[in-house]
Chains A and B, each alone.
Chain A
């Protein structure tokens, strides 16, 4: 069984928000549209987005990490938002594991959003239905697009390729390998939702310097006479002892 998912590499995410607006741009005119904006040019502008990038500070100065954290629907393997839906509008596609909302069935009761611990569903204030990341289902399944472009908009946009996309049930997929090799983890594992989306943690490259690397035979200071050999006639033990 296929389970499509995103794997987000926090090791390279610089928090540029490219995934946020490319998502909005694709989807507001797409099958998932529209994504309304309230007060677009007034106080407290607010709108529907499927994807947000957040910023956290970890630790205390000077040992501080700034973590940029993109978050969208995690397409849980056991999605708590699906069984609670009274109309069946919220569903998980058996063929690829994408969790979707059928806007024609959604009554806008918001119960699915209550049942999502991750806060990734947003009720569109004007279409009055629950919306969420569709994994750009209208891109990835559109055979009219070239194969390389059948990916979610955020994945194509991401300048640091921090968003990997693929089938986590396929052991050989790029996402499975990344999860396996770079310690991929899921969010809030305590609820057993088995999010399909995974995150890759920060990794740190350090450099070890050995003492002797500073003292080398080819040190140019020797050529430039700053570490001169003593002159042959300079005093030595030879001059003063005979044993």
Chain B
């Protein structure tokens, strides 16, 4: 450091692209020196991260140059067992021939025998399209085992959700309540927002069994028992309703709180809103808008939003025809009557007085710190407003709330609480991000039955969609599931992101049927992405009586040698994010801001390593070879040269003007959102920091569920087909329809099988309610008293980074954190080896005593443990010897009841119940080996990966040592 700056510039070239070290998708500037990455920094001109970068993003160099990278297509060696990781390299031509032959046969006979499931990808619009064009319903990304309860619970309630679809407006909030672990999505923007919020003196309350991550800087930490958030939320709602702290005007006008619900037990329509039959407002044929209010001013029933009327929210009324009715809000009040803070105290462990105070803080802040913005807008019913009002109480939750089998109703309870406080798409509360809000439910529907699947024909319907009632389920004539994962069946009717966690078990068991080829992209289903890891690994390698694999063919595409690639018959080497084109598309999960739609792209900064090929190119090549209509013309000739060409020129329908990218459309790039393909679109993105940001007029930025101007804009730009209002579903008509089918009535002719009727009647409750998670109900909690959960370390996202030489120094192995008093009562101290046992399995790991965890909970960092030899690590690496997965003690299925096996999932959405497991802990014997258990045979280095591990290395860009 004696003579800084005497050397030539450290950086020769700088290129913009988008990060992919996690799902956050920050803009980055990649500096190169002699073709090697010198430095990756946040792009200050990017709307998402505004120049900041996280630990992972700043470690991209070590991901790029990891010795775990796959560089050649690989075929399992003849005679080698799956999981042994023994491969021979083959050419891409060979790989494509193998796939083409196999998939063509499946497609021309029974397309559903091909299943495509993807992990942490950001190209669901393309992968979903591939599956649809193939004609298989068996497609999903990893949402089902991630946070589908969050998406479904909120979208079915307010038409939008946390996740990429919306978030807390911390710029204007005064009180911020974060519930459960939420460090993994939208992380940099949230970090930026939380710090600004705190600096401005905002009050931050964190509800979480564990105090780590963002909770660390909360003004108040409210420790709660895992899986009981629903009880807390309902008790808060109880208190807010009973003290009159709800936003009456908001509920009356913008929710269905005032809709009159038929309460006549003798009526076949009992439980449904009563409709006037008058011409429905709005233009959406699939959504009625003629429900009745009880106008408290005139004392009679009127169609909702009748000018001059004000709906009664409470009370019981009788219609002219004698039908007894109650406003939905009255039913909510009755629902939460039992949910007193005292009741919740016994379940959550939070003192009743504290719950009351929290409710008062929320209600009083919402009411007394009200924001009025001088923004004129017109609502869907034509009323003009001079201002936009905000109640500055913001919430945020993700996986901590979602990953329970009671998560859907819990998230519903959260959405209802947020609505009751009047915080939906208003300043300081929850704000949507384009293309949200959507209709409730969104219009996309899954295939309705076996007739949707035909040889050599695209699927009728989208593989994933949003059922509005039993008629939208994917079931056969007997009510059996159409999909391999049983999503959209009577078992999991609103499994809107699929149920990847059950695919392998179901396919192995042949329930509902056997499949032929399973293609997995970027998901570690033989390790941290699966529950019941030990058994699932056996299933992947299991054969039937004829000696055939029960899952006959496994294709895995990944950039790194993972535990899963070891099981593949065919391994496809993917590129890293620095070597590929990508789109963060409006058709998928764009990176929109509160103020308008934003989409972005990745542009390759480096050439692909070895023979690596982006998965998109694989799909387009396969789709072209198989002559999918989307990829070939009428003569069967190739339509798109490659992925970049496809992105520019693909339109959802010929001439629709809707494509993957919304920016710089039209021949010369003069149009936004809709327009003809622009051959120079990539270049224009590249010139504009790889991002397109369309800022809406201020009057379209709020109240978008009911904002006429916004809806007209959205219709013009084809973001929405219809302009009807999106009314908050305090009371869920969709759920009521499923419940009525279970009761043997209702508009749908479909009826669930007998054994599922009671389940549907209980869990498809149109009002949020609390129940103990299914796994907990099935556990002897006296034997297994402790809840075991994981948290997300911010420096190590999912399992993506154990191959990263810098990040693994921060998290090399993991411990089980146990409350100090709990540990003392078990005779356990720091660094002791302990057994963690659930009714499904056990792991041996090390203990770390903590004061920052609730006494009934134990926790560890997620996905630090690795199998020996995976991810380019030495077999004796800390990850394998001292790291462990909690997955070993979590089952993908509940214990069989009456011979039937059900997924360990939410009964409504199929969300994997990761955080429901109950365990007991005992000290390992002194003579046991000091290593985690279970252990697996070490994986050899696959051909094409870095075979020789360096004893030490020193990265200096530009020397060519790491290329």
Residues of A within 8 A of B (CB): 11-18, 20-22, 24-26, 28-47, 49, 57, 59-62, 64-68, 100-105, 125-127, 134, 137-138, 141-142, 144, 148-149, 153, 156-162, 202, 204-207, 209, 213-214, 216, 219-227
Contacts and interface: CB of A to CB of B under 8 A. Distances in A.
B855 A61 contact: yes
8 contacts: A37-B806, A45-B877, A46-B809, A47-B809, A61-B821, A159-B191, A209-B360, A225-B315
Contacts of B694: none
Contacts of B855: 61
A20 B62 CA distance: 14
Interface string B1-35: 11111010110000000000000000000000100
Contacts of B231: none
A125 B951 CA distance: 12
Given A12-B198, A157-B41, A209-B357, A18 B954 contact: no
A37 to B, nearest CB: 5
Contacts of B360: 209, 213-214
B309 to A, nearest CB: 14
Given A29-B956, A42-B873, A62 B315 contact: no
B902 interface: no
Contacts of A225: 312, 314-315
A172 to B, nearest CB: 19
A206 B296 contact: no
B958 interface: yes
Interface in B931-963: 949-958
A45 B66 CA distance: 14
Given A40-B805, A66-B215, A205 B194 contact: no
Given A21-B59, A41-B872, A61-B851, A14 B191 contact: yes
Contact of A36 (B202, B812, B954): B954
A31 B7 contact: yes
Interface stretch (B217-225, B433-441, B709-717, B768-776): B217-225
B306 interface: no
Contact of B954 (A12, A20, A32, A126): A126
B359 to A, nearest CB: 10
A43 B956 contact: no
A46 B821 CA distance: 33
A205 B203 contact: yes
A17 B188 CA distance: 12
A160 B194 contact: yes
B12 to A, nearest CB: 12
A45 B880 CA distance: 13
A25 B65 CA distance: 13
B678 interface: no
Nearest to A46: B809
Nearest to A127: B954
B49 interface: yes
Contact of B957 (A17, A29, A222): A29
B65 to A, nearest CB: 10
Contacts of B44: 148-149
B191 A61 contact: no
Contacts, number: 276
Contacts of A105: 2
B848 to A, nearest CB: 11
B819 A61 contact: yes
A220 B246 contact: yes
B954 A66 contact: no
Given A16-B55, A220-B244, A62 B221 contact: yes
Contacts of B878: 43-45
Given A103-B1, A205-B202, A29 B194 contact: no
A16 B21 CA distance: 14
B794 interface: yes
Interface stretch (B264-272, B361-369, B535-543, B574-582): B361-369
Nearest to B50: A159
Interface in B508-539: none
Given A28-B954, A41-B877, A138 B55 contact: no
B191 A160 contact: yes
Given A37-B954, A214-B360, A161 B877 contact: no
Interface string B201-225: 1111000000111111101110100
B787 to A, nearest CB: 15
Contact of A25 (B58, B198, B212): B58
A211 to B, nearest CB: 10
> What 10 A-B pairs are tightest by C-beta distance, nearest first?
A160-B195, A220-B248, A17-B55, A34-B954, A159-B191, A40-B805, A221-B244, A22-B58, A219-B244, A12-B195
A97 B296 CA distance: 73
Contacts of A24: 58-59, 806
Interface in B728-783: none
Nearest to A33: B956
Given A15-B216, A40-B950, A224-B313, A207 B188 contact: no
A130 to B, nearest CB: 10
Nearest to A45: B809
Given A29-B38, A220-B248, A125 B952 contact: yes
B958 A29 contact: yes
A26, A38, A61 interface centre (most CB from chain B within 10 Å): A61
B219 A205 contact: yes
B780 to A, nearest CB: 26
Interface string B805-838: 1111110100000011100000000000000000
B54 interface: yes
B192, B850, B852 interface centre (most CB from chain A within 10 Å): B852
A13 B52 CA distance: 14
A21 B820 contact: no
B151 to A, nearest CB: 25
B248 A223 contact: yes
A37 B244 CA distance: 61
B195 A102 contact: no
Contacts of B7: 31
Contacts of B314: 221, 224-226
B357 A206 contact: no
B42 interface: yes
Contacts of B851: 57, 59-61, 64
B853 interface: yes
A21 B807 contact: yes
B794 A42 contact: no
A21 B58 contact: yes
B921 interface: no
B876 interface: yes
B482 to A, nearest CB: 43
B40 interface: yes
A33 B955 CA distance: 9
B51 A66 contact: no
Given A20-B55, A29-B956, A60-B851, A12 B199 contact: yes
Nearest to A138: B4
A29 B955 contact: yes
Contact of A64 (B204, B214, B315, B852): B852
A209 B364 contact: yes
Contact of B952 (A38, A68, A138, A220): A38
B952 A11 contact: no
Contacts of B812: 44-45
B111 interface: no
Given A16-B795, A47-B806, A126 B191 contact: no
A30 B199 contact: no
B806 A161 contact: no
Given A37-B805, A42-B876, A47-B806, A137 B1 contact: yes
